[in-house]
Amino acid sequence: MAHGIPPLRSGHHLQLLEGSVELFPAMVTAIDAALREVRLETYIFDFNESGAEVAYALERAARRGVAVQVVVDGLGSGDLPPAQLQRLEMAGVQWHVYSPTGTLGLLWPGQWRRLHRKLCVVDGAVGFCGGINILDDFHDPNHGALEAPRLDFAVRVTGPLVARMQETMERLWRRIEAVRRLRSAHLRGTLTSLRASGTRAAVPAPPVLSHGLPRAKAALLLRDNLRNRAVIERAYLRAIGRAHREVIIANAYFVPGARMRRALVNAARRGVHVRLLLQGRYEYFMQYYASRPVFGALLRAGVEITEYEPSFLHAKVAVVDGHWATVGSSNLDPLSLLLAREANVIVEDRAFAHRLRQRLLHAVQHEGRRMEAAAYDNRSRATRAKEWVALVLMRLALLVQGKKYL
Give the number of other CB atoms < 10 A from CB of residue 81. 13
Phi, psi (degrees; rounded to nearest 5) at 395: -65, -40
- One domain for residues 58 and 31: yes
The catalytically annotated residue of 12, 13, 96, 314 is 314
3-state helix, strand, coil in the chain (%, to 5): 40, 25, 35
Say if residue 138 is in the same domain as residue 238.
no
Q: What is the pTM of this model?
A: 0.89
Task: Summarize pLDDT for 281-319 with one digit per residue, the tens.
Answer: 988 898 899 989 999 999 999 999 999 999 999 999 999
Same domain, 145 and 179: yes
Beta bridge partners of 69: 39, 94
Count up the domains in the chain and report the number: 2
What is the rounded CA–CA span in Å between residue 92 and residue 199? 25
Q: Please count the CA atoms within 13 angstroms of the CA of 32 that sit on its side-chain side.
A: 10
Q: Which residues pair with 276 in a beta bridge?
A: 249, 305
Residue 3 lies in a domain: no
Q: Are 150 and 276 in a shared domain?
A: no
In whole angstroms, how far apart are CA 327 and each of 12, 116, 357, 368, 380? 15, 14, 12, 20, 35
Whether 140 and 237 map to the same domain: the answer is no
78 Rama sector, left if φ>0, alpha if ψ -120 to 50, beta otherwise: left
Q: Which of 166, 199, 232 is the last residue of a domain?
A: 199
Selecting among 123, 136, 137, 152, the annotated active-site residue is 123
State whether 85 and 178 are in the same domain: yes
How many angstroms separate the CA atoms of 381 and 27, rounded? 47
Residue 286 and residue 394 in contact, taking contact as beta carbons nearer than 8 Å: yes
Active site residue 116: yes
Q: At 122, which amino acid appears?
A: V
Same domain (yes/no): 228, 301 = yes
Active-site residue, from 12, 118, 139, 217: 118
Has residue 4 been placed in a domain? no
Q: Count of alpha carbons within 13 Å of 209, Cβ hemisphere only? A: 3
**Residue 137: active-site member:** no
**Shared domain check, 388 and 363:** yes
Q: Catalytic residue at 244?
A: no
Residue at 2 is within a domain: no
Cα–Cα distance list, 364 to 29, 215, 277, 331, 372 (Å): 32, 30, 7, 19, 14
Is position 123 annotated as part of the catalytic site? Answer: yes
Q: Are residues 146 and 232 in the same domain?
A: no
Residue where a domain stops, chosen among 199, 225, 240: 199
Position 394 in a domain: yes
d(CA 19, CA 36): 27
Q: Please give the Cα distance from 294 to 255 (Å, whole number).
A: 8
Instruction: Give the range of the structural domain holding residue 340, as residue numbers without chain letter.
Output: 216-400
Alpha carbon distance 347, 215 (integer Å): 11
Active-site annotation holder among 321, 354, 386, 403: 321
Catalytic site residue 349?
A: no
Among 165, 199, 233, residue at a domain's last position: 199
**Annotated catalytic residue within 12, 13, 96, 116:** 116
- One domain for residues 65 and 181: yes
Tens place of pLDDT for every residue, the chain, 406 residues? 445 789 999 999 999 999 999 999 999 999 999 999 999 999 999 998 999 999 999 999 999 999 999 999 988 887 788 888 899 999 999 999 998 876 555 555 566 678 999 999 999 999 999 999 999 999 998 889 999 999 999 999 999 999 999 999 999 999 998 887 787 654 555 444 444 444 333 334 333 333 444 689 999 999 886 767 789 999 999 999 999 999 999 999 999 989 999 999 999 999 999 999 999 998 889 889 998 999 999 999 999 999 999 999 999 999 999 999 999 999 998 878 777 899 999 999 999 999 999 999 999 999 999 999 999 999 999 999 999 999 888 888 777 666 666 5
User: Same domain for 242 and 173?
Assistant: no
Q: Is residue 205 part of a domain?
A: no
> Among 328, 325, 315, which residue's Cα sits nearest to residue 353?
325
Q: Confirm whether 102 is domain-assigned.
A: yes
Which residues have C-beta within 8 Å of that of residue 74, sequence separation ≥ 6? Answer: 97, 98, 99, 100, 101
Supply the DSSP string of 333-399, one letter for each residue: SHIIIIISBEEEEEEE-HHHHHHHHHHHHHHHHHSEEEPPHHHHHT--HHHHHHHHHHHHHHHHHHH
Tell me, yes or no, whether 58 lies in a domain. yes
Cα separation values, 197 from 116, 161, 224, 263, Å: 25, 22, 22, 43
Residue 340 lies in a domain: yes
Residue 316 designated active-site: yes
- Asked if residue 116 and residue 58 are part of one domain, the reply reads yes
CATH of the domain at 267: 3.30.870.10
